[in-house]
Amino acid sequence: MPVTYSESLDAAIQYLQQLKARGVKYLTVSPSTLAALSNGPRPSPPAARPVKAPRAEAPLRESPAKPVAPPASADEGPSIAVLAPRVPSSLSGEAKAAAMSELRERALGCQKCPRLAASRQNVVFGVGDINSPLLFVGEAPGADEDSQGEPFVGQAGQLLTRIIQTMGFPRDTVYIANVLKCRPDTPGQTAGNRKPTPEEMRTCLPYLLAQIDLIQPKIIVALGGTAMEGLFGRVVPITKVRGHFQDFRDIPVMPTYHPSYLLRTQALGVKRQLWEDMLQVLEKLGRPISERQRNYFLSSAQ
């Protein structure tokens, strides 16, 4: 008996659900399979059962893997590979904005972490230009972000804004998001934040992945070890990897310190290290770097 497209699709979905239930999170899919999937069913002779049209959406396009240049220094640095290919999209500007706002709506109503959903004031989805080449990823909203519904608006956020501006970007021309969209609850505490749990990060990651797939940034800056852990799904010692581009679904990720670490340490050397990471980002983006920018944090003047 001939197998129809929708029967194959049902079988594929069932198989993927079984894998998911077994804890499989990523699959390696060849570019040719992706292309075949994006083309939908091949024309076939009339079937006894009507074949459902594939969902109307923009065709997927193959993204040639962007080779990640080695770090500027001779030291190659540690590398963390993420094999899952991102699904490239060639959505029009309007369709992309609509998809992002639909994603936002879904996130705003999310109840996947019931305790966080109950304690949050706002879901902090993300902010900025969805066409930006540059995406900053933090760990989770703090109290200020929770009350305003925007990432990085507290003290660390103000420092991040200064860093972005010193790089030559107005804040609203980059995109800023967190691994976790809700503030981690702190029962019994009146102040302070807590680190998101691995489970919370795993649960929330699909929102960030969808944001990344829509934005398709040229570079992601991961702010701190927890952001790296959320993205890569394992503990990443930030002091070892910072300053070395990593590959995340074909996108170069620059791991660097979280701005709140800079606020805590105030050490000039740490500020300079973060700034060197940002200079590498500017170089990779092909942005001009002024003498003043190059020399930033070399003296105690800043």
Candidate ranges 98-106, 132-140, 163-171, 239-247; the one touching ligand URA (CB under 6 A): 132-140
The secondary structure of residue 188, as a DSSP letter, is T
Structure tokens at 50: 């009507």
Q: Is 151 in the site for ligand URA (CB under 6 A)?
A: yes
Distance CA 158, CA 164 (A): 10
Least distance from ligand URA to the Cβ atom of residue 226, Å:
7
Q: Is 178 in the site for ligand URA (CB under 6 A)?
A: yes
Distance CA 184, CA 206 (A): 17
Q: Is 126 in the site for ligand URA (CB under 6 A)?
A: no
Longest dimension (CA), the chain: 78
Q: Is 208 in the site for ligand URA (CB under 6 A)?
A: no
Q: Is 140 in the site for ligand URA (CB under 6 A)?
A: yes
Contacts of 221 (CB under 8 A, 6+ apart): 134, 135, 136, 137, 253, 254, 256, 277, 278, 281
Q: Which of 99, 107, 126, 145 binds ligand URA (CB under 6 A)?
A: 145
Least distance from ligand URA to the Cβ atom of residue 160, Å:
8
Alpha-carbon radius of gyration of the chain? 21
Least distance from ligand URA to the Cβ atom of residue 277, Å:
16
Cβ proximity of 278 and 263 under 8 Å: no
Least distance from ligand URA to the Cβ atom of residue 247, Å:
22
Q: Is 141 in the site for ligand URA (CB under 6 A)?
A: yes
Q: Is 146 in the site for ligand URA (CB under 6 A)?
A: no
Least distance from ligand URA to the Cβ atom of residue 150, Å:
8
**Helix 225-232 and helix 198-215, axial crossing angle in degrees, nearest 10:** 80
Q: Is 100 in the site for ligand URA (CB under 6 A)?
A: no
Select 248 or 257, whichever has its Cβ closest to ligand URA.
Answer: 257
Total residue count of the chain as it appears in this document: 302
Q: Is 156 in the site for ligand URA (CB under 6 A)?
A: yes
Neighbours of 131 (CB within 10 A): 14
CB neighbour class for 176 (10 Å; exposed up to 12, middle 13-18, buried from 19)? buried
Q: Is 230 in the site for ligand URA (CB under 6 A)?
A: no
Distance CA 253, CA 272 (A): 19
Candidate ranges 15-23, 36-44, 138-146, 165-173; the one touching ligand URA (CB under 6 A): 138-146
Residue ranges binding ligand URA (CB under 6 A)? 138-142, 145, 151-152, 154, 156-157, 178
